[in-house]
Structure 1
């Protein structure tokens, strides 16, 4: 039987802390655009609220993201990653007018989706003011398939990944005031118990 090269055994537990890396398709630098970064951040905050996981660190970079988190009891690693990737893709493509369908809200997500759609209208208007209505210079947003995860083994491993994640923008020579890192979002970051 043929196995996809990205196929890997995933270990699911609400006791594990995961360090996850996921990339945009062909490493396109969508997140050089502040509006798209803000959409990612809104979706990360929403996912944390709905999927009830502990978020220890993150860093959004122009073509990929790192997240250090621990799933709660009801949603595992794949549920959380699916939510983030699906909703960021949908919302980014919606403001760029690539989406011709409506996303069906999950569970108690219907009211939240309505509030989020109002926020998207603001982002769409801001995006159109910047790029005009013909936005063919930016391709349809897609994530690379799957993601890479690492299970944190001990406190030393945790500390290394916490620092690596929060300050990863330095490695990529982004400005010191790079906004899209957990060091600037203390209000959504959890402390390790």
Structure 2
């Protein structure tokens, strides 16, 4: 990982941010958002990812997660979702988007034609209850701050609905505080 952020202990709770290269607005369409939803659901059900909060914005995602294998799960998640985003872009003749993924590809990525995600995922340990609550509020208020909705619970691709109404597009894990 090429950042100052590192996974220290896998059982920790982490606030994670992953961003699309060039801050391209990929998640403005349901078809691309559903790739994230389906992949996070799979990671929860099959890979042991515990998901406590999430938001999918147009250019990035925020997650509050834990697992015994956080780095590996997030690596696999990003790899799989990148392949799926590229596949869908090719199927739907999104030539401009593919050109942008090609343009932003890092030079050392010799085996791939495109790059979808920026490198790394900036994990930050969340070790205290007040920090957990602050991160959940930050995640849920992201669409409100951007002016996309007036109420955090109205953003479909967020766990705010899970917290406010008991349901969302992804089942989340409960944490004892």
TM category (shorter chain) comes to 0.7 to 0.9
> 1:160-186 CA distances to partner (integer Å, 9 max, x unpaired)?
111111232112221343211012353
The unaligned stretches of length 5 or more in structure 2 are: 102-114
* Other-structure match for 2:155: 178
1:17-96 maps to which residues of 2 (within 5 A)? 17-71=13-67, 73=68, 76-96=69-89
Which of 85, 94, 102 is the aligned partner of 1:135?
94
Which of 151, 158, 171 is the aligned partner of 1:188?
171
> 1:36-76 CA distances to partner (integer Å, 9 max, x unpaired)?
011111111111112112211000000011000111x3xx2
Structure 1 counterpart SS, 2:96 = coil
- TM (norm. structure 1) is 0.71
Alpha-carbon deviation of 1:9? Answer: 5.7
- Name segments (4+ residues, structure 1) moved above 3 Å: 184-187
Distance 1:85 1:163 in 2: 24
Distance 2:5 2:131 in 1: 21
Distance 1:8 1:39 in 2: 28
Structure 1 counterpart SS, 2:95 = coil
CA RMSD of aligned residues (A): 2.0
Is the 1:30–1:62 Cα contact (8 Å) retained in structure 2? yes
Structure 2 counterpart SS, 1:31 = coil
Is the 2:17–2:62 Cα contact (8 Å) retained in structure 1? yes
Is the 1:59–1:167 Cα contact (8 Å) retained in structure 2? no
Structure 2 counterpart SS, 1:66 = strand
* Counterpart check, 1:165 vs 2:142: no
Aligned residues: 152
Distance 2:78 2:137 in 1: 24
Distance 2:41 2:18 in 1: 17
